[in-house]
């Protein structure tokens, strides 16, 4: 999608659909007032009204409801841009003009970001899609009070849109294409953005004592990988880094504790945490963020096999703690145990945030809009929640009660990897906490938000959402740069 910023009176190109952002109760004139009166359009958020061949220019006019004018902020502008695109994407016209009267650079650029996020599609495997089902809009012009200032302000948001698309591509890929080594290869290509990338294979991880992560991948013919990404953008090259760790289970069958067949295909998304961490590093490099950041991915495939680990096996993690593997389907925490320990041991970061499609229970707790946040540090948790609100990636904090540690005590090892049904997301987080060595840490359980079926958010097409990239980028930008 090509994005331009133009003055409100810039001439319209041929074959343009004009989307006029309208507030609730805003009066229209002439034929347009009659069109509104003949419909149920009120300007409420998310509403659209299509007017073909309107008087006064453009081939099509769409009124896009933006809600109350007092509540119109950057996020609302983004949703308005996305709704405008969604309303005309299949119109057959090639250009979209988003009319935002008097828009500041912030409002105009966020509307453009909304278009970029909404127009994402994963269509590389479609060979026979009918032309009329393909989006026709290839260029968007957003009106701004000062078009040059808007253009100058846009690059960081364009970098963000690129990064979210990169994450969505990774998460959408099927597991026969995107297995650990292929994931690592695609990350390695991000060296072109200035990231430093290291890839550890199974021998290197074995030498480090990562028995917990390696046990998970042991039943797969695909080699497990640990990817380390580094972005050194801080003015002080030795500034202590911030660190992000992602669960990258390229496919989760459950292993010997195998999952039911119904819906198992969804487990190709089980690398959503690793996808988000990759996208975050992509945007930090893309916008040259003034921060030192580490991104670590634990990439495995969880398969049943003659060599797979068994329920009851005891593995030794890099931390030295032993784990009784009660259920081989609780594999994400086993991967993160070693990835988190490695991260704090090697990089001594200011904090670690891990992202993981960790538990089905988080969907039971929070439904499909909110991700769960767990943290041993109030400041970090509050920074995450604040960024979540600003970027429209909903997050809800849950507790880490000391007493629930009882649920993950093992009769024969230091820990066991499941805590039973009560508070399943919490006991999973408590398990992870054993591997952070007291560092400020937060865990985001994104099993509920990494992908959407039947999305109702205009910036989220159905499928992979890229959840987390925006939230973490915003937190770094607001709190940890300089
Ligand atoms: N990848 C799943 C969690 C998941 C479930 C993500 C549904 C998205 C949708 C994870 O590895 C898993 O299988 N967790 C188990 C843990 C249980 C065995 C303690 C779960 O949630 O059932
Ligand atoms: Mn599992
Ligand atoms: Zn999993």
- Which ligand has the shortest distance to the CA of 360? 1
Rounded mean pLDDT of 101-119? 97
pLDDT > 90: percent of the chain: 96
What sections of 98-146 are H helices per DSSP?
Answer: 105-118
Q: Which of 359, 366, 417 to mutate to test the pocket of ligand 1 (most atoms within 8 A of CB)?
A: 359
pLDDT for residue 482 is more than 90: no
Ion ligand 2: residues, Cβ under 5 Å: 252, 329, 331
Whether the per-residue pLDDT at 159 is higher than 90: the answer is yes
What does the pLDDT read at residue 395?
Answer: 98
- For 47, half-sphere exposure in the C-beta direction (CA atoms, 13 angstrom radius) is 18
pLDDT of residue 56: 77
Q: Each residue of 188-229: pLDDT tens digit? A: 999 999 999 999 999 999 999 999 999 999 999 999 999 999
Q: What is the atom index within ligand 1 of the atom nearest the CA of 257?
A: 18
Task: Measure the CA–CA gap between 153 and 449, rounded to whole angstroms.
Answer: 29
pLDDT grade for 307, boundaries at 50, 70 and 90? very high
Q: Of all atoms in ligand 1, which is nearest to the CA of residue 418?
A: 19
Across residues 84-107, what is the average pLDDT?
A: 97
Residue nearest to atom 16 of ligand 1 (CA): 330
Please say whether the dihedral angle defined by the alpha carbons of residues 397, 403, 407 and 411, taken in this order, is positive or negative.
positive
359 Cβ closer than 6 Å to some ligand 1 atom: yes
418 Cα: distance to centroid of ligand 3 (angstroms): 13
CB atoms within 10 A of CB 206: 13
Ligand 1 atom with the smallest distance to the CA of 359 is 21
Is residue 160 pLDDT above 80, yes or no?
A: yes
Beta bridge partners of 243: 294, 352
pTM: 0.98
Instruction: Let me know if 452 is a catalytic residue.
Output: no
CB-based contacts of 70: which residues, under 8 Å, 6+ apart?
none
Task: State the average pLDDT over residues 13-18.
Answer: 95
Distance between CA 180 and CA 261 in Å, rounded? Answer: 23
Assess whether the C-beta atom of 332 lies below 6 angstroms from ligand 1.
Answer: yes
Q: Are 285 and 193 in contact (CB under 8 A)?
A: yes
Q: Does position 54 have pLDDT exceeding 90, yes or no? A: no
Atom 13, ligand 1: which residue's CA is nearest? 329
Mean pLDDT (whole number) for 82-93: 97
pLDDT in tens, 339-374: 999 999 999 999 999 999 999 999 999 999 999 999
Q: Is 372 in the pocket of ligand 1 (CB under 6 A)?
A: no
pLDDT in tens, 373-417: 999 999 999 999 999 999 999 999 999 999 999 999 999 999 999
pLDDT at 109: 98
- Which of 417, 447, 449 to probe ligand 1 with, by most ligand atoms within 8 A of CB? 447
pLDDT digits (tens, 9 = 90+) for 214-225: 999 999 999 999
Which is the catalytic residue, given 222, 333, 434, 452?
333
What span, in angstroms and rounded, lies between the C-alpha atoms of 49 and 86?
Answer: 12
What are the φ and ψ backbone dihedral angles of 197, each rounded to 5 degrees? -125, 130
- Atom number of ligand 1 nearest to Cα 327: 18
Confidence of residue 57 (pLDDT cuts 50, 70, 90): confident
Residue pair 183/248 in contact (Cβ under 8 Å)? The answer is yes
Q: Which helix (DSSP H) or strand (DSSP E) does residue 346 occupy? A: helix 332-347
pLDDT above 70 covers what percent of the chain? 100
Residue matched to tokens 């960024």: 387
What residues have CB less than 8 Å from 374, skipping those under 6 apart?
397, 398, 399, 400, 425, 426, 429, 432, 433, 442, 443, 444, 445
DSSP assignment letter at 55? T
> 359 C-alpha vs ligand 1 centroid, how far in Å?
4
Give me 184's structure tokens: 């690592």
Active-site residue, 333 included? yes
- Rg, Å, the chain Cα set: 24
User: Which among 425, 405, 295, 291 has a CA at the least distance from the CA of 353?
Assistant: 295
Distance CA 468, CA 370 (A): 11
Name the 3-class secondary structure at 103.
coil
Q: pLDDT value at position 58? A: 83
Cα 137 to Cα 79, 84, 141, 441, distances in angstroms? 17, 11, 11, 43
Work out the pLDDT band at 17, boundaries 50, 70, 90. very high
- What is the distance between the alpha carbons of residues 58 and 56, in angstroms, rounded to a whole number? 7
Query: Average pLDDT for residues 162-166, to the nearest whole number?
Result: 98
Centroid of ligand 3 to alpha carbon of 421 (angstroms): 16
Mean pLDDT, residues 240-250: 99
């Amino acid at each position: 999608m090509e994005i331009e910023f133009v003055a409100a009176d810039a001439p319209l190109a041929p074959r343009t659909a004009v989307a006029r952002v309208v507030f609730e109760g805003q009066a229209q004139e002439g034929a347009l007032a009659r069109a509104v009166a003949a419909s149920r359009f009120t300007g409420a958020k998310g509403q659209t009204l299509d007017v073909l061949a309107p008087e006064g220019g453009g081939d099509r006019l769409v009124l896009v409801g933006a809600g109350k004018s007092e509540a119109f902020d950057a996020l609302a502008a983004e949703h308005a841009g996305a709704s405008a695109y969604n309303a005309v994407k299949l119109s057959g016209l090639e250009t979209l003009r988003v009319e935002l009267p008097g828009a500041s650079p912030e409002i105009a650029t966020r509307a453009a970001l909304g278009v970029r996020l909404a127009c994402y599609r994963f269509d590389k495997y479609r060979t026979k899609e009918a032309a009329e089902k393909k989006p026709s809009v290839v260029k968007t012009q957003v009106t701004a009070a000062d078009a040059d200032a808007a253009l100058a302000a846009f690059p960081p948001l364009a970098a963000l849109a690129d990064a979210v698309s990169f994450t969505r591509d990774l998460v959408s890929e099927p597991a026969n294409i995107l297995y650990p080594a292929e994931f690592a290869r695609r990350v390695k290509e991000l060296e072109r953005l200035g990231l430093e990338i290291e890839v550890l294979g199974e021998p290197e991880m074995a030498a480090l004592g990562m028995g917990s992560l390696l046990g998970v991948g042991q039943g797969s013919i695909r080699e497990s990988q640990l990817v380390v990404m580094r972005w050194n953008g801080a003015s002080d090259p030795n500034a202590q880094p911030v660190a992000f760790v992602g669960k990258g289970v390229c496919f989760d069958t459950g292993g010997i504790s195998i999952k039911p067949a119904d819906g198992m295909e969804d487990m190709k998304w089980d690398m959503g945490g690793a996808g988000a961490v990759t996208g975050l590093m992509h945007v930090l490099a893309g916008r040259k963020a003034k921060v030192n950041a580490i991104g670590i991915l634990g990439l495995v495939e969880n398969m049943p096999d003659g060599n797979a680990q068994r329920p009851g096996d005891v593995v030794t993690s890099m931390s030295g703690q032993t784990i009784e593997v009660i259920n081989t389907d609780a594999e994400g925490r086993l991967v993160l145990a070693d990835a988190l320990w490695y991260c704090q041991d090697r990089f001594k970061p200011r904090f670690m945030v891990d992202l993981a499609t960790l538990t089905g229970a988080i969907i039971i707790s929070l439904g499909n809009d909110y991700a769960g946040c767990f943290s041993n540090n109030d400041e970090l948790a509050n920074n995450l929640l604040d960024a979540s609100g600003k970027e429209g990636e909903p997050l809800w904090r849950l507790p880490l009660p000391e007493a629930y540690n009882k649920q993950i005590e093992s009769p024969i090892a230091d820990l066991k990897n499941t805590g039973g049904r009560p508070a399943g997301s919490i006991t999973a987080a408590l398990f992870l906490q054993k591997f952070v060595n007291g560092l400020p840490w937060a865990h985001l359980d994104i099993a509920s938000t990494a992908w959407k079926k039947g999305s109702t958010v205009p910036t989220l097409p159905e499928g992979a959402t890229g959840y987390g990239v925006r939230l973490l980028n915003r937190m770094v930008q607001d709190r940890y740069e300089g």
